[in-house]
Chains A and B, each alone.
Chain A
């Protein structure tokens, strides 16, 4: 099975005369935790929506290879899980029911639920048990029967991650996951993401396929470097004249490098990667610095290995 799980090919997008993304090319490998950073308005969320499938690109394509078969994305689908900044939990379902929701709609049909009541009841019990186990992993065992309005922001975020993870998506997409959280909860969430990566490392060590591939869209550089193993910088500040453009054609990938890998138990020391942070600030966020197209793309042409020994 190919190691590339998500391929973005020459993706461009615009809204009317507003050019947002220009020829974005990315290969995401199975098991990577990739952070996409960039200044406001650079099209991070547009890229994410193109991957989710709610806003297919005007040009280019997003291809997912979940099970050895490449599939061009045109609509939201089961192989991509999404966690939004504002959690987006179903308010009429408890935490446990929210997590079990995907199992229900994925494994049964409305007709089966209506007409095969005894089968459905048994399956429902199984789904709820699995949801409870998943929430327990997220340290939410005591909140199974609480509705979203009764949960704190951090708890809602963890329920949303559990809701996506239980479906074992090919790629888990996180849209500004730290944005609405207080400092303590942000750190808790970062530890959860590092735990996912450590599960990948364990799988690699035992010769199994890594279970989690994650793409995080954020503007928080410290958090991005801390939780990911690869940083992608998307920016509208680049030398587009060098490629024959007369006006800005939109943002593109201007930075693509590995990030240091931490374990969930490591101390959170943002100073330890200050040099990379400064480099990203310069290469991605500085409007006065128009770099060459591929100056900071260390991984271009030889797809990031993803795996950390």
Chain B
């Protein structure tokens, strides 16, 4: 029957099977590829992937060198000196994965926070006051149709290629969509609830802050989760072009050196980060809006 519920256990089994099928398919393709070419690194074996992972975690970064030099240095056994340097600079500092994570997640957090918070403020005002909606909505519609990756050269020109540029690009890419969506959520706020708040003595500011905002908050968190994907697309694309650090930069230089055993783990780790942020926001939603997922009687 359509929509029939399944047990938690059955759900876990289905999920485990799907992951196992995926991993088995990858192993089979990698095996076939290595039968044809034992030196292949485009579809690495599990062993090669492990080496790549170790490289990302252990090899200290040499700021001015590119990835092929880093790999060469690692393979030539210069790791001891680098490890010494690492100890002097702190345990994590200098490691490729740490530095890339710091750069990418910092830019993502800055841009997404600004885009969502700015979008919520403007969206709530648009949803509450139709004069603001009439004035701002056309510009927001236009801005929401601009593809940030296509407009990248303009961002480079206007905001440089430092942290601010990434934040500006993610903000520009996410804010119009967040604004328009939040405005729609606010306009869906039931009239009867709004009228009731006034009959209970609420002022305009109180209707917004104590009735409308809490009502749309869980949907805003869902929206922020949805915006992680597009924000990462803008960010990684920009990093691949101009960055000197970050996941996009690392993927580009490692791809150039055909070291896919390190590229694959980077992609998986980036996915895990996105999943962890999603999970964190879901936990936040559960903590701030315990009423949201309650089932009606």
Question: Known: A52-B195, A90-B215, A92-B215. Is A105-B200 also a contact (CB below 8 A)?
Answer: yes
Q: Does A54 contact B (CB under 8 A)?
A: yes
Q: How far is the CA of A106 from the CA of B297 in the complex (A)?
A: 31
Q: What residues of A have a CB within 8 angstroms of the CB of B290 in the complex?
A: 147
Chain B interface: which of A81-89, A220-228, A270-278?
A: A81-89
- In the assembled complex, A167 has its CB within 8 A of some CB on chain B: yes
- Cβ of A75 within 8 Å of any chain B Cβ, yes or no, is yes
Q: Is A76 an interface residue (CB 8 A)?
A: yes
- In the complex, A88→B211 CA distance in Å? 12
A81 near B199 with CB under 8 A, answer yes
Residues of A within 8 A of B27 (CB): none
Asked if B197 is at the interface of the complex by the 8 Å CB criterion, the answer is yes
CA distance in complex: A159, B296 (Å): 16
Do residues B196 and A78 form an inter-chain contact, with CB atoms below 8 A? no
Decide: A86 near B192, CB < 8 A? Known: A149-B295, A149-B296, A150-B294. yes
B205 within 8 A of A: yes
Give B217's nearest chain A residue, CB to CB. Answer: A92
Residues of chain A lying within 8 A (CB to CB) of residue B152 = none
A65 adjacent to chain B (CB < 8 Å): no
- Please indicate the chain B residues that have their CB under 8 angstroms from the CB of A84 in the complex: 192, 196
Interface size class of A (residues with CB under 8 A): 20 to 34
A77 within 8 A of B: yes
Tell me the number of A-to-B contacts counted with CB atoms below 8 Å.
78
How many B residues touch A, CB cutoff 8 Å? 28
Interface flags for A248-259 (1: CB within 8 Å of B; 0: not) read 000000000000
Q: Which B residues are in CB contact (< 8 Å) with A152?
A: 297
Give which listed residue, A76, A91, A169, contacts B195 with CB less than 8 A: A76
* A16 within 8 A of partner (CB): no
Write the chain A residue with the least CB distance to B191. A54
A86-B192, A101-B210, A105-B206 known; A149 vs B197 contact (CB < 8 Å): no
A residues touching B (Cβ–Cβ < 8 Å)? 52-54, 75-78, 80-82, 84, 86, 88, 90-93, 101-102, 104-106, 109-110, 147-152, 163-164, 167, 169
Q: Which 9 A-B pairs have the closest CB atoms?
A: A102-B200, A106-B201, A76-B198, A105-B202, A147-B291, A149-B294, A88-B192, A78-B201, A92-B214
* Known pairs A80-B199, A109-B203 / 9 extra A-B pairs, C-beta < 8 Å: A75-B198, A82-B199, A91-B215, A92-B215, A92-B291, A101-B197, A106-B200, A110-B209, A169-B199
